[in-house]
Amino acid sequence: MKTISTDKAPAAIGPYSQAKITGDLLYASGQIPVDPATGEIPSGIEAQTEQVCKNIGELLKAAGSSFDNVVKTTCFLADIGDFAAFNAVYAKYFTSAPARSCVAVKDIPKGVLCEIEIIAEV
């Protein structure tokens, strides 16, 4: 098993790693919309989804993978009313249409509006 870590995605805010590779699969921890360079969180679901996807892209790159290799995502929304706006941004990145679960949850760390975790081939 190999640990993936990059300073181009937010550091873990707890006792976990950004991602792990085991066999031919990358398991990435949920990414929230923190800009790793500034620590800032953008406003609004579209901007937050965009930042989450950028963070995921950096983890995929660090693991030698890409969005085309993502096989499953789990998406968490603070408000299911943001579903359509979230999907519009999500669709720009996950063009291979991986399997997905998307649920509304009561709270997400740092009070953000969305979080995405992935499983991808490497």
Q: Would you say 54 and 37 are in contact if contact means Cβ atoms under 8 Å apart?
A: no
User: Which of 13, 42, 44 has its CA nearest to residue 30?
Assistant: 13
Write down the catalytic residue from 53, 75, 102, 114.
Answer: 102
CB atoms within 10 A of CB 101: 10
Q: Would residue 114 show up in a list of annotated catalytic residues for this protein?
A: no
Question: Which residues belong to the active site?
Answer: 102
